[in-house]
Amino acid sequence: MAKKSSTGTAKGEEFTPGVELTGSHHTENYLFAFSTLPDISTFMRTQVIPKDQDGLKPLKAAWEKIQPTIAKLIEREKGLSESISRANIPEENHEKVREIIGGELFQKTFTGPFTIEMVEIDKLIAPQRTVNLDFVKDLTNEVSAKPDTTELVDFCLGGKRKKAPVAHLEIGPGQHAFASVNTDLRFLGGFLKPLAEEDLKLAGLGGMPVAAVIGFVGYGLDAVNVLAAGQRYVLNNGFHRVYALRSLGVKMVPVVVQHKANIALEFPQSVFGLPREYFLNHPRPVLVKDFFVEDFNVALRVKDRLKTITTQIQSGQIDTPV
């Protein structure tokens, strides 16, 4: 009879937990060829489902094999991002564009100088390294197989696309949690609100309210937009829609171009975790077209996740001298 350890498992037998750790997943394309080995290891360990994590070793081998090709590509296509094609929005779409950019939320989102342009997809600089293929499939079902410019304006700039629902739970006094499958969920700021009579119905602790602070949770304006640094256009929002349209054969898309006159002061310090020096100075940064080179990408089963926002209102009461 096999002797059992203190955990109840016979020596030599593999330990199996009594409760299985599970979770749903989706398929992502991972642009591993332009990643670093530490980033690949971290991504495989933290994002990929456990059953597929044994693919790390062959993926590292594939990365090492492809690096000479990447080095030659960087040398051959030096400055390619600065040759991006641009065009004006067709005249028949001007009225629709004026309606979009005249909206109050649009004006509050884009406070600096901007233009609306048709730009070449392939030469947009892409901060992302993954693309959710399941989400892309849903997006391609929102447009026709060969969308015209009018449809593209609605899809890329219109802001009327259906949003994922948001769940809410009050988790403590003054504490609230909001969750969505859409990772664009965000806190939209807190502001002083002039009291209205209907606000008194929400004063659950009684008293005599004299002021109210309101906080907003929701989604950012979903217009596809880029950050312009000279002739370089960095994709700032709308990556999956751009990818979906490129997969349908679309070459040019309408975007909001945010112009940064003073790069040192106005360009973000980082975009999607990458430092701005990469976007401004790298001779050949990652472009959207790289996601369509089979040898540069690998399809992986990645854990599903929710975007959760928590908010908390705290107060302090002290006596101060007059």
Non-local (6+) Cβ contacts of 261 within 8 A are 113
- Three-state DSSP at 258 gives strand
* Residue 155 sits in the same domain as residue 172: no
Instruction: Output the domain CATH number for residue 259.
Output: 3.90.1530.10
pLDDT (0 to 100) of residue 260: 87
Examine the domain organization and report whether 184 and 235 are in the same domain. no
Q: Do 99 and 208 fall into the same domain?
A: no
Q: Do 175 and 241 have their domain in common?
A: no
Amino acid identity of residue 160, one-letter, is: K
Tell me how far apart the alpha carbons of residues 87 and 237 are, in angstroms, rounded to a whole number.
20
Whether 260 is covered by a domain: the verdict is yes
**Tens digits of residue pLDDT in 184-208:** 899 999 999 998 888 888 887 888 8
> What domain count does the chain have?
2
Does 91 share its domain with 208?
Answer: no
Residue 185's domain comprises 167-217+307-312
Q: Place 7 in a pLDDT band, splitting at 50, 70 and 90.
A: low
Write the pLDDT tens digit of every residue in 264-285: 888 999 998 899 999 999 999 9
Q: What is the pTM of this model?
A: 0.87
Model pLDDT for residues 88-111, shown as the tens digit of each residue: 999 999 999 999 999 998 999 999
Residues 263, 279 within the same domain:
yes
47: in domain? no
Tokens of 139: 């997006």
Residue 119 neighbours by CB under 8 Å, 6+ apart = 84, 85, 86, 87, 226, 233, 252, 253, 255, 257
Distance CA 29, CA 256 (A): 26
Domain co-membership, 234 together with 203: no
- Domain annotation covers residue 34: no
Q: What is the mean pLDDT of the chain?
A: 92
pLDDT tens per residue across span 51-100? 899 999 999 999 999 999 999 999 999 999 999 999 999 999 999 999 99
Amino acid present at 25: H
